[in-house]
Amino acid sequence: MVYIREAHPSNAWQMAVNVRENIVFTDPSTFEERSTRAESCVRKLGIRIPALVDDVVDGVEAAYTGWPDRLYVIARDGRVAYKSAPGPFGFEPEAMEASLRKTVAGGN
């Protein structure tokens, strides 16, 4: 998982549900602030896979078009083996699983 940016910052597009659930953050302006937001996100969502943090100029997001949510399988050689449509409605778990199994088995 790569945390690319705050989805609904209070200084931009704040959602009522975020206010109700006390998830109110400004858009981070430093890597340290972004890392703190990412840690909070991982903890609150109970994410159990490793999470990396994109830099504040969104280099990973720009390279992989990660906004809105996307799911990827990256092969050992760095090639994108699977890229979902924008999520969450574009997610196809079965297709991603098939790609992941093929990639792990070495079938790229």
The letter for the amino acid at 25 is: F
- How far apart, in whole angstroms, are the C-alpha atoms of residue 6 and residue 28? 8
- How far apart, in whole angstroms, are the C-alpha atoms of residue 33 and residue 17? 22
Cβ contact 102:108 at 8 Å? yes
- How far apart, in whole angstroms, are the C-alpha atoms of residue 64 and residue 96? 16
pLDDT at 54: 93
pLDDT at 53: 94
- How far apart, in whole angstroms, are the C-alpha atoms of residue 34 and residue 30? 6
pLDDT average per 10 residues of sequence, the chain (108 residues): 78 75 80 90 86 90 78 88 86 91 84
- Answer whether 0.85 is exceeded by the pTM: no
CA–CA–CA angle 30, 5, 43 (5° rounding)? 95
pLDDT at 32: 93
